[in-house]
Amino acid sequence: MRRSATLIAANRGARYARLNRKPAIAAIGDAGLLLQHLAQARPAAQPRWTEWIGRLRARDPKREAGIDLQAAVKAEHVNPVALFRALEREAGDDALFVADGGDFVATASHVLRPSSPHSWLDPAAFGGSGWARAWRSARRRRGRRARCGSSSATGPAASGWPGSIPSPAIACR
């Protein structure tokens, strides 16, 4: 992010909103509600944005073909791209993904396409307790849930969470 960019930090706590960099705007409160209000207040799509989005969508088939090539590569253990392709085939429209662990989440974000808002949860800095919170909220939803992670120190496998699989972990219900 450029230093010249306007930094907006949304956090429930003022201390955490200003932790790493001083934001131009510190929105103290529910970040999700802030995003919802901003989305509702946005102006109608302008032609330049429509064109840009069209160019991005035109590039998608080439990008997907590249991901398919990566998924076809045989790996010594598990090819994470192939794993996520298989997971996406099995996931329904009401699937919820809970993922943790740097590279694992980064790969998943390129391969998986969550079907709706709030269908991708990353507990981030909350580690094992974040997993539990995210999974608890997932239990309120119907359909399949997947928990994925590569955190060996803070993820559910380390905490001995029932049904956990050692890193990289994946479980579908």
Same domain, 79 and 134: yes
Answering whether pTM is above 0.85, one says: no
pLDDT score recorded for residue 160: 39
Which phi and psi (to 5°) does residue 99 adopt? -130, 145
Same domain, 27 and 77: no
Encode pLDDT of 95-136 as tens digits: 777 776 777 788 888 888 887 777 776 666 665 556 666 666
Question: Model confidence at 140, in pLDDT bands (50, 70, 90)?
Answer: low
The Cα–Cα gap between 60 and 13 comes to 38
Determine, yes or no, domain membership for 65: no
Determine, yes or no, domain membership for 51: no
Question: Model confidence at 141, in pLDDT bands (50, 70, 90)?
Answer: low
Encode pLDDT of 51-107 as tens digits: 888 999 999 999 999 999 999 999 888 898 999 999 888 887 777 777 767 777 888
The Cα–Cα gap between 62 and 144 comes to 29
State the CB neighbour count (10 A cutoff) for residue 56.
Answer: 10
Number of domains in the chain: 2
Residues 6+ apart with CB under 8 A from 144: 90, 91, 92, 94, 95, 96, 172, 173
The Cα–Cα gap between 73 and 165 comes to 24
Same domain, 97 and 165: yes
